[in-house]
A and B are shown apart, each in its own frame.
Chain A
């Protein structure tokens, strides 16, 4: 295993921490999806993201060290460092989940079947040709303000698009992984399947 040297860069602690929080939560959801839908590629993407968090954690540690001017600063900055370490731990946990898939252990197939029925915060849905989502960009759908739903990954042409940007357009046959409120996800599933033909305001 090789480790690259991570150089000091003056990135605001706030930004590093925000990125770590975002990524760690995204990774958890992606990792559960990878394990429960038994998807190796998605699991590998999670492991890639883990490296990114490691780099961020390193940079954050350097920044907090440089930021402490006196004992009082140090006291408050230890807290920052602890929280960053916790997000790092969460990303490690996500990597552990992904490893269940990459190490060919897998989860019993019945589990996925029941999970899809019981779990209300994470869904996988395929976009049908008669869905009104087709051709729309994620930004214009405004799923988050409308129904508290966030698309975290799209499977298209044998590839995963992780955390798709606002400009990404939805195509027929896309498999979406989304997280959010149970009501919103139910609605999204119906939109994907073409059972619902309009977006709520």
Chain B
């Protein structure tokens, strides 16, 4: 394969990985929205759905304009189908978020099921004793320390999606996803008990 062909593929795959990661993030955020009964997070999911739609169109255009050869058509069809699937997953996430946006308090059983799942979602408020305070998310190394990754941060009434340079403040509520075992580590890190 020529260098130019390889580069074209790089771009397509990067776009696909972004679609895939965004659709999966949406699922996590949608469950978080249910867990916290947070309209804000649910709205974020809806916003992301529009973003995925846009991204998906760009991805399809990129695939279709890549000038593939006839014998490569199958492989490209596979790619197109993968793209369609990410959109389907994004739709499912939006459907979960919609439950929150309807304004009926989510049934307690939903909260229990999410908390007990293998890949759990949890939230913890950062207290003044936490070593995380005033650190950027990048420096806080939360995934390395706890195996949990931060999906969103709730500060006051606002919910935001964290960036690596977001600074953690006292009172922030960290919404995190990971395997149930990391939950205690995260709680110890964000909210150490008084010594």
Contacts and interface: CB of A to CB of B under 8 A. Distances in A.
Given A18-B112, A89-B92, 12 more contacts: A17-B113, A21-B113, A22-B117, A86-B30, A86-B93, A92-B88, A99-B81, A100-B82, A110-B6, A111-B78, A144-B179, A148-B146
A165 interface: no
Nearest to A21: B117
A106 B88 contact: no
B139 interface: no
Interface residues of A, number: 58
A30 interface: no
Contact of A93 (B13, B79, B89, B104): B89
A177 interface: no
Instruction: Say whether chain A's binding surface is mostly helix, strand, loop, or mixed.
Output: helix
Given A25-B27, A108-B79, A32 B20 contact: yes
A150 B92 CA distance: 24
Interface string A84-96: 0111011011101
B92 A93 contact: yes
B10 A82 contact: no
A21 B117 CA distance: 7
A135 to B, nearest CB: 22
Contacts of B58: none
A142 interface: yes
A76 interface: yes
B88 A107 contact: no
Interface of A: 13-15, 17-18, 21-22, 25-26, 28, 32, 35, 75-80, 82-83, 85-87, 89-90, 92-94, 96-97, 99-100, 104-111, 114-115, 118-119, 121, 142, 144-150, 180-184
A142 B147 CA distance: 11
Interface string B1-26: 10000100110111011001100100
Given A93-B85, A100-B82, A145 B93 contact: no
B78 A100 contact: yes
Nearest to B180: A144
Nearest to B74: A105
Nearest to A91: B92
Contact of B114 (A21, A75, A93, A110): A21
A180 B89 CA distance: 19
Contacts of A148: 143, 146-149, 178-179, 182
Contacts of B109: 13-14, 17, 80
6 contacts: A22-B117, A75-B104, A77-B107, A79-B104, A82-B96, A106-B74
Given A79-B106, A90-B89, A150-B179, A114 B95 contact: no
A107 B110 contact: no
Most buried by B among A26, A87, A104: A87
Interface in B112-134: 112-114, 116-119
A145 B13 contact: no
Contacts of A77: 107
B81 A100 contact: yes
A93 B88 contact: yes
A144 B147 contact: yes
A105 B185 CA distance: 44
Contacts of A183: 143-144
A118 B14 CA distance: 7
A86 to B, nearest CB: 4
Contacts of A109: 75
B184 to A, nearest CB: 8
Contacts of B118: 22, 25-26, 150
Contacts of B76: 108
Contacts of A147: 144, 147
